[in-house]
Amino acid sequence: MRAVNAVSTSLPSLASTHPAFASVAEAELDSVHRYLLFLTGNRAVAEDLTGETFEKAFRVWRRFDPRRGTARAWLCRIARGVALDYFRAEERRRRREARYARELPDTEEPAYGEGALASALDALSPAEREVVALRVLLELDGPTTARVLGISQTACSTRLSRALKRLEEMMSDARV
Amino acid sequence: MPASETVDFEREFAELVRELRAVPSEAPQELRERVRALGEPQPARVMRLPRVTRRVALVLASGCLVAVAGAAVAYGLVASSGRPAQHPEAAATFAKLPHGGRVHLNLTRSSTTAEHGVAAFGAATTQQPFALSNSVAVPAPNPNRYQNYQASLRVRVKDFDALGKRTSDAMQITHQLGGYVASVQQSTTSGAPGEADLVLRVPVAHVQSALIRLSALGTVLEQHVSIQDLNAVVSAQRQRILQLKIEIARITATLQQSLPADVRLRLQFQLDEAKRSLSNVTGANASTLRAAAMSRIALSLTTEKTAVAKHHRSFLGRSTHAAFTFLAGAGAIALAALIVLSPLLVIAVLFVLGLRAYRRREERRLLAAAP
């Protein structure tokens, strides 16, 4: 059993000095990608948005202040903004091309692989998937996750609990 | 989120968590290379402004308050370090009185009195710095000339009791100096300032001493001195008297001769007229000499509080007053600015809050449904 809150989610050197961007990017790339993969539910989109996230982080790297939070949380906030921009753009695009989009064949690569878990994750909303990604996969603590999502800690906890219960129910149903 | 809650979900959904963590989600090598290619950002060349945190805002606000207070103190010091307001009383004394001249001197401490102390004698005017105090410097009469010396003095005393006592003192001073009290009027009504008006006649030889002693009865508010040279008048009167006496003597001598009746009658009329004129001129001359011998001092004692004290504040008092005036002005400006800007500030805050709420709602909507 691991106590998630006790896990350090940042590089040790970040606390005192401004870390190098390259080392942070190397360390946090998988985390950010994982988060965006769960948030978007699309592997190709997640890759694009991850790249876009790090490009944006590269441009505003001087604004990062290790005293105010971990690099992972900071990158996740950027990634979330990038993803929301993507969702807005996607929504506008879908509205414009509603009929055409419906007729497009589904050729996307499965985001979470095959199996019951993948189907269950697909059934969750992006909001539920992102809280699962942040808390379970990226192992951010409750307050940091709440800050990244812009919600209260209670709401964050509730959302996580609900998402995990739904996942488990769907998986149980699939096994039966 | 409490730690127990965290441990609970790890324990409660242990198998699910394990499966979730096993989902292949590593970034592909292509993406990794793309991110590596970004390299290291160049250090910022522009000078960054310090982050405006709550502490910085507090320091700035404190600094502003200190700056305003400092400006007020500086203003107070500068405003009060200059010479006190030029007052008419600052000003005049006399050298000597030329023939046939007339001098009028006003000395006042009241800021509302616009008269200036002036010593004027035709073209010969002498002005010297002159500090008014309770031991007032007063122009001395010229003992070798006939002068009509008149003065008025307004003196503030502490209260009604002092008013009665100082009135008695003034009368006593007058008697001691060989003068007399021409008139006294004293009124003390509850709720109104007490007043005592005295007309004193003091021998000219002692007028200076009298004015100095009367000034010491309280705080001098106003002093007016008027000196009119009477030598020319006295000379003219004496000349006229001499002429009339000669004329009378001539007419009297003529009348002792034998004359026609009509001539005698005419001379008799002329003699009567000359005697009448002599009597008048002699009376006028006596009156002039009396006026030259006794000065007239109009003394007003009052309990009235005036603005005089304001002009005699200490340096510290003036500085403090000026500083508070400055602060009051700054406060009024700040209040006016706040009144003007407050609606705009409220609108701005409402706009920001509304925008934030809208964005949050939109985010919830976007994340509620799978794309």
Chain-chain contact of A153 with B1 (C-beta, under 8 angstroms): yes
**Per-residue confidence (pLDDT) for residue B82, from 0 to 100:** 57
A-chain residues within 8 Å CB-CB of B44? Answer: 62
Contact residues, chain A, for B21 at CB < 8 Å: 136-137
pLDDT confidence tier of residue B312, bands split at 50, 70 and 90: low
Residue corresponding to tokens 């009567």: B272
Q: Is the dihedral of CA B267, B273, B277, B283 positive or negative?
A: positive
A108 DSSP assignment: P
Contact B308, B222 (CB under 8 A): no
- Cβ distance of B366 and A84 shorter than 8 Å: yes
Model confidence over A122-172: pLDDT tens digits? 888 888 888 999 998 888 988 999 999 888 889 899 999 989 998 888 888
Name residues 187-226 of chain B within 8 A of A (Cβ). none
Number of C-beta neighbours around residue B307 at 10 A: 10
Question: Cβ(A43)–Cβ(A27) under 8 Å?
Answer: no
CA dist., res. A152 & res. A170, Å (int):
27
Please report the DSSP string for B130-176 in residue order: ----SS---PPP-TTS-EEEEEEEEEE-SSHHHHHHHHHHHHHHHHH
Residue B21 at interface with chain A, using a CB cutoff of 8 Å: yes
Q: Determine the distance in angstroms separating the CA of A30 from the nearest CA of chain B, rounded to an integer.
A: 5
- pLDDT higher than threshold 50 for residue B96: no
Q: Where does the pLDDT of residue B277 fall: very low under 50, low under 70, confident under 90, or very high at 90 and above?
A: very high
- A·B CB contacts under 8 A: 140
Q: How many CA atoms are closer than 13 Å to the CA of A114, on its beta-carbon side?
A: 0
Distances (CA, A) of A33 to B122, B150, B178, B274, B300: 106, 108, 117, 138, 100
Q: Report which of B167, B157, B152 is spatially closest to residue B107, judged by C-alpha positions.
A: B152
pLDDT digits (tens, 9 = 90+) for B53-81: 777 888 888 888 898 888 888 888 887 76
Rounded-to-integer distance, Cα B136 and Cα B220, Å: 8
B211-240: pLDDT as tens digits: 888 888 888 888 888 888 888 888 999 999
The mean pLDDT value for B261-279 works out to: 91
Report the DSSP beta bridge partners of residue B300: B154, B197
Task: With a cut of 70, say whether residue B311 has pLDDT above it.
Answer: no
Characterize the bridge pairing of strands B180-187 and B102-108.
unpaired
Contacts of A93 (CB under 8 A, 6+ apart): A101
Long-range contacts of residues B238-246, Cβ cutoff 8 Å, at least 24 apart: B238/B285, B240/B277, B240/B281, B241/B278, B241/B281, B241/B282, B241/B285, B244/B274, B244/B275, B244/B277, B244/B278, B244/B281, B245/B278
More confident residue, A111 or B249: B249
Measured between beta carbons, the chain B residues lying within 8 angstroms of A39 are: 367
- The stretches of chain A forming alpha helices (DSSP H) are 21-40, 43-59, 71-96, 98-103, 116-123, 126-132, 142-149, 153-175
Question: What is the rounded CA–CA span in Å between residue A146 and residue A53?
Answer: 20
Helix (H) or strand (E) holding B108: strand B102-108
What percentage of chain B reaches a pLDDT higher than 70? 76
CATH superfamily name and code, A15-175: PhyR, sigma-like (SL) domain (1.20.140.160)
Q: Helix or strand or coil: residue B321?
A: helix
Nearest to B40 among A22, A156, A167 (CB): A22
Output phi, psi for B159, to 5 deg.
-155, -170
Q: Indicate yes or no: CB of B20 within 8 angstroms of CB of A117.
A: yes
Q: Which of residues 42-101 of B touch A (CB under 8 A)?
A: 43-44, 48, 51
CA terminus-to-terminus distance, chain B: 29
Distance CA B155, CA B299 (A): 8
Give me the residue spans of the domains in chain A.
15-175
Least confident of A2-11, A149-158, B13-22, B113-122: B113-122
Of B188, B227, B11, B209, give the one whose Cα is nearest residue B98.
Answer: B227
Can you give the residue ranges of every domain in chain B? 91-231+291-312, 233-286
- Amino acid B217 reads L
Q: Which two tokens stand for residue B291?
A: 């006026």
Where is pLDDT greater, at B167 or B50? B167
Cα gap A146→A148, rounded to integer Å: 5
Q: Which residues of A touch B31 (CB under 8 A)?
A: 29, 33, 47, 50-51
**What pLDDT sits at residue B5?**
53
Q: pLDDT value at position B79?
A: 75
A116 touches chain B (CB under 8 A): no
Interface check B158 vs A, CB under 8 A: no
Nearest-angstrom CA–CA distance, A71 and A66: 7
Q: Please determine, for residue B125, whether its predicted confidence score (pLDDT) is greater than 60.
A: no
pLDDT tier for residue B108 given thresholds of 50, 70 and 90 = very low
B28 touches chain A (CB under 8 A): yes
Q: Determine, for residues B366 and A87 on separate chains, whether the beta-carbon distance falls below 8 Å.
A: yes
Q: How high is the ipTM of this complex?
A: 0.73
- The yes-or-no verdict on residue B1 having pLDDT over 70 is no
CA nearest A50 in B: which residue?
Answer: B31
Which one of A30, A59, A65 makes the best mutation probe of the B interface by having the most chain B beta carbons within 10 Å?
A30
Assess A11–B contact: CB distance below 8 Å, yes or no: no
Compute the distance between CA of residue A5 and CA of residue B1 in angstroms, rounded to an integer: 9
The amino acid occupying position B220 is: V
How many helices and strands (H and E) does chain B possess?
A: 9, 6
Sign, Cα dihedral of A168, A170, A172, A175: negative
Computed over every residue of chain A, the mean pLDDT equals 82
Contacts of A160 in chain B (CB under 8 A): 9
For residue B115, how many other CB atoms are within 10 A of its CB?
A: 15
* Residue in A87, A130, A171 nearest the CB of B371: A87
pLDDT digits (tens, 9 = 90+) for A80-114: 999 999 998 888 888 887 656 555 555 566 667 66
pLDDT score for A95? 81
SS3 content of chain B, % helix, strand, coil (to 5): 55, 15, 30
Q: What percent of chain B has pLDDT over 90?
A: 19
* B167-174 average pLDDT score: 90
CA atoms within 13 A on the CB side of B28: 13
Asked whether the predicted pLDDT for residue A8 surpasses 60, the reply is no
Confidence grade of residue B95 (pLDDT, cut at 50, 70, 90): very low
By C-alpha distance, which of B72, B119, B343, B300 is closest to B196?
Answer: B300
Nearest residue in chain B measured CA to CA from A34: B25
Q: Is the predicted pLDDT of residue B86 greater than 60, yes or no?
A: no
Does B355 reach chain A within 8 Å, measured CB to CB? no
The minimal CB distance from B41 to the residues A21, A65, A160 is found for: A21
Share of chain A above pLDDT 70, in %: 81
